[in-house]
């Protein structure tokens, strides 16, 4: 297995054993980034010279036999999402008004990754203000998928997903308030973990959630191999004294999980947005493998999932704090009609999805009835999921409705309207990203698991969820599924459109 296919833990072990130097790893991944980034546009700022110097310090310690203080990832290169502050580097979150903004200190999660020896090579692209599922903005441009550059990488951690999926970074740092770790992990064929709400501090992000939304927005790892998910989570978890909604949550041990003793809840769809046959078939393969291991499998639907989008929006709104429009326009309240005209004339400082989301936010409470009913449905769904999962259950759930779509497709249109349904309160409005978003406000741990490629050469996968605080269980299942299905498939082994 080449260094571009090995886990971060495996690379660190090779450095400690003297089989490869940290400098060699850093140089090789820099070279890989430079080769693929011309097509992907995933890495938007770089720190190559600093990374080389950090690698040289690790190598000197190896020669002295003094690597203990460098951490479990001593000498291993990585990448980080641009929305996290990194001292001396751009921190725009794709907002034109923040162009030229330079961070003064490292975000808590970055500090903790570096404290266990990881060496960041650069920062990766995002959607504008981290609130859309395409990583495209007017500061850095659009990021392309390593399996087919005509397709999206997801958002808002899309740059991370793309550069890891391309094999140019072993692992990286992302954040997730509506699927922003899991969708990029899915579309780019890698692993991603959304921790339990409040497990990892959000400190140092922009935009930064407020109040209870700090538990809905989570910080977690993306990686080409499942072996890196838990060590990275363990390194990042725990209060930092700044994020007041971060708690000291005990971490279990993935190695102690008996997958055959688990109960598996297979949720085939949300009742509104249809799931592509390739994704449904992949989820069925997972169900069959877990059943063969001895797990008790039950197929079940939860009626409240039909209202996933309304539940997500209502719970975020109820948490309070600055609105998306407030952050997008820096406290101003411009005419959105005028802004859309400016966009049509090529004079706007914003992307069309950002303007669209601002419009939805302004009309949403009235148009979608984001009332106590939606909040009550959210509370009901959380109670049902908590009871169903208990301490020994996992859920299987699609990460999206289809494999990576073409650029621009998610905005044409982003919403799906269903006539009167289970709740008998008029039409249900949902969106394809509600498959991931609703699990944020449920605060459940969720691991996105790659399951190979479909006939078109695009990644397929599944979300694995568990009860609150049981992150080790979802990661244990991810490890097993990687053994069974192979996990990430390098693009150089994929179809004719892949970036090599």
Residues marked active site are found at 81, 156, 180
Residue 31: both structure tokens together: 């070279």
Which of 352, 409, 475, 440 lies closest to 175 in space, CA to CA?
A: 440
d(CA 63, CA 180): 40
Which tokens sit at 172?
């990286």
User: CB of 152 within 8 A of CB of 195?
Assistant: no
Q: Contact at 8 Å (CB) between 26 and 121?
A: yes
Which residues lie closer than 8 Å to 408 by C-beta, 6 or more apart?
134
């Amino acid at each position: 297995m080449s260094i571009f296919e090995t886990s971060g833990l495996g690379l660190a072990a090779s450095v400690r054993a003297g089989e490869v130097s940290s400098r060699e790893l850093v140089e090789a991944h820099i070279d890989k980034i430079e080769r693929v980034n011309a097509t992907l546009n995933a890495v938007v700022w770089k720190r190559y010279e600093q990374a080389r110097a950090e690698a040289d310090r690790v190598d000197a310690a190896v020669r002295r036999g003094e690597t203990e203080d460098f951490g479990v990832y001593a000498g291993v290169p990585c990448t980080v999402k641009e929305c996290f502050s990194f001292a001396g580097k751009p921190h725009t979150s794709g907002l034109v008004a923040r162009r030229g903004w330079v961070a003064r200190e490292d975000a808590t999660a970055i500090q903790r990754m570096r404290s266990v020896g990881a060496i960041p090579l650069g920062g990766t692209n995002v959607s504008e203000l981290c609130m859309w599922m395409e990583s495209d903005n007017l500061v850095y441009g659009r990021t392309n998928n390593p399996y087919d550059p005509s397709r999206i990488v997801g958002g808002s951690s899309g740059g991370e997903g793309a550069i890891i999926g391309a094999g140019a970074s072993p692992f990286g740092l992302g954040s997730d308030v509506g699927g922003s770790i899991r969708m990029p992990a899915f579309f780019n064929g890698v692993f991603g973990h959304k921790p339990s709400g409040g497990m990892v501090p959000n400190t140092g992000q922009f935009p930064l959630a407020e109040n209870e939304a700090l538990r809905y927005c989570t910080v977690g790892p993306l990686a080409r191999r499942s072996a890196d998910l838990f060590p990275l989570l363990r390194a990042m978890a725990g209060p930092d004294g700044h994020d007041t909604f971060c708690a000291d949550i005990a971490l279990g041990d993935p190695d102690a999980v008996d997958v055959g003793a688990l109960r598996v809840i297979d949720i085939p769809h949300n009742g509104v947005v249809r799931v592509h046959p390739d994704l449904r078939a992949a989820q069925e393969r997972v169900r069959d493998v877990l059943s063969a291991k001895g797990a008790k499998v039950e197929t079940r639907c939860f009626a409240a999932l039909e209202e996933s989008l309304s539940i997500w929006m209502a719970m975020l709104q109820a948490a309070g704090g600055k609105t998306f429009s407030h952050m997008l326009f820096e406290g101003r309240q411009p005419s959105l009609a005028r802004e859309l005209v400016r966009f049509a004339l090529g004079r706007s400082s914003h992307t069309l999805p950002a303007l669209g989301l601002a419009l939805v936010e302004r009309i949403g409470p009235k148009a979608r009835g984001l009332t106590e009913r939606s909040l009550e449905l959210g509370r009901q769904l959380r109670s049902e999921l908590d009871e169903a999962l208990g301490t020994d259950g996992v859920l299987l759930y699609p990460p999206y409705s289809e494999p990576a779509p073409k650029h621009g497709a998610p905005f044409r249109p982003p919403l799906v309207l269903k006539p009167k349904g289970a709740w008998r309160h008029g039409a249900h409005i949902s969106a394809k990203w509600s498959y991931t978003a609703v699990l944020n406000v449920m605060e459940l741990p969720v691991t996105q698991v790659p399951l190979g490629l479909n006939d078109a050469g695009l990644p397929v996968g599944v979300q694995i969820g568990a009860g609150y605080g049981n992150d080790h269980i979802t990661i244990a299942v991810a490890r097993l599924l990687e053994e069974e299905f192979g996990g990430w498939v390098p693009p150089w082994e994929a179809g004719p459109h892949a970036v090599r």
